[in-house]
Amino acid sequence: MFSHLQPTPIDPILGLMAAYKEDPNPLKVDLGVGVYKDEQGHTAVLDCVKKAEALRLKNEDSKTYIGMAGDLSFNSHIEKLAFGQHKVLLSGRVTTAHTPGGTGALRVAAEFIKKANPDATVWVTNPTWANHISLFQAAGLKVKEYSYYDWDTKGLKFDAMLTELAQVPAGDVVLVHACCHNPSGMDLNFEQWKQFAHLAKEKGFTPLVDMAYQGFGLGLEEDTQGLRYLADLVEELILCSSCSKNFGLYRERIGACSIVTADSKTTEIAKSVLLSVVRSIYSMPPAHGAIIVSHILDSQELTALWHQELAVMRNRINDYRQLIIDKFIAEGITQDFSFITKQHGMFSFLGINKEQIERLRKEFSIYMVGSSRVSISGLNHSNIDYFAKAMAQVLKG
């Protein structure tokens, strides 16, 4: 039966990683995958993680199964990071399962949605993270897009977004990015979040908030503002979180799927459904990443160190947003790229065309996603001039 298989196209983001690795050009620049790199172009293990790992090595006394919901201390920490002292937590309306990464959280959410409403359509921003669409489709859900990013103004199509979402029926799910929209970097401001939340309440669709970059936008608390306002208003929502970026735990695959329901009784039922979903996919999650995060958040000292290290990553990316513009101007680029400083998180859309992206890769070994999404931390003081010069060349035509 395997002889009938057809080759499947390589993932547009992970495929770039492989192509970059194989490129022998010593000047190559990786602006592809959303992984933080420091000034040396290295994705280092955070110090707070190193310390927590040392603690874990010393204290771990068993490798027995941890259960379908994963690490309960991690789950409680991740709920507090997202919701703070919000009433949804205080009234027992949230249940969380720790998952293998943010992608695992989304897949668990997809299977949960299927159990709640097999006919649900999941609405995603146009554009969105490429894997959102395939992931929900793979779970057997219908996926449709709503207007979000405006390629002409480099801002949001917010009016069109509201108009389209006003047609979404109760029982459907609308995916929003909590912060650091992937791929565009353009986020809803708080006023826009409020309007979205009121619409969700009025129309009765269920928001699914994807929070893969908490702390990379404006700050750990600030990045939850929209989510918390939404939770003020709606009775039900789904939150998918990830610790890949903010704890730098990419390969440990640690994330969480949280379900918020209308009351604690429904939450108990939702929990049983969530756990049955987990059991039927991977039984229970790997423990390591969750225990590291728990150790960090259990300790005031490690939490303070984490906050510091997260701020260093966030600030470096923000500094480079301005630096890119300065370097472009220094290279004589006259197009307006000032929108880069209005975006948040790891990514920026440069708004250049396919041919220019192709030339950057072929002639200069500069790798970015085909939508012109660049992962900004791939730039550093050793390669930013090379990047700006290459951009000047391809923009000249």
Q: Is 380 helix (H, G, I), strand (E, B) or coil?
A: coil
Rounded CA Rg of the chain: 21
Nearest to ligand LMR of 13, 256 (CB atom): 13
Active site residue 47: no
Nearest to ligand LMR of 37, 271 (CB atom): 37
Nearest to ligand LMR of 182, 258 (CB atom): 182
d(CA 73, CA 293): 9
> Using CB under 6 A as the criterion, which residues of the chain lie in contact with ligand LMR when the complex forms?
13, 33-34, 129, 131, 182
Pairing type for strands 173-177 and 206-211 reads parallel
Are the beta carbons of 209 and 228 closer than 8 angstroms?
Answer: no
Catalytic member of 123, 129, 193, 306 = 129
CA angle 381, 366, 44 (to 5 degrees): 55
d(CA 88, CA 99): 21
Phi, psi of 291, deg, nearest 5: -70, -35
Residue number closest to ligand LMR, CB atom: 34
Catalytic member of 30, 71, 172, 210 = 210
Q: Supply the minimum distance, in Å, between the C-beta of residue 16 and ligand LMR.
A: 9
Q: Supply the minimum distance, in Å, between the C-beta of residue 177 and ligand LMR.
A: 11
Q: Supply the minimum distance, in Å, between the C-beta of residue 349 and ligand LMR.
A: 13
Q: Which residues contact 84 (CB under 8 A, 6 or more apart)?
A: 221, 224, 228
Q: Supply the minimum distance, in Å, between the C-beta of residue 78 and ligand LMR.
A: 18
Are the beta carbons of 185 and 343 closer than 8 angstroms?
Answer: yes
Active site residue 210: yes
Q: Supply the minimum distance, in Å, between the C-beta of residue 13 and ligand LMR.
A: 4
Active site residue 342: no
d(CA 205, CA 198): 11
Pairing type for strands 142-147 and 121-126 reads parallel
Nearest to ligand LMR of 44, 329 (CB atom): 44
Catalytic member of 245, 271, 306, 327 = 245
Nearest to ligand LMR of 197, 317 (CB atom): 317
What is the set of active-site residues? 129, 210, 245
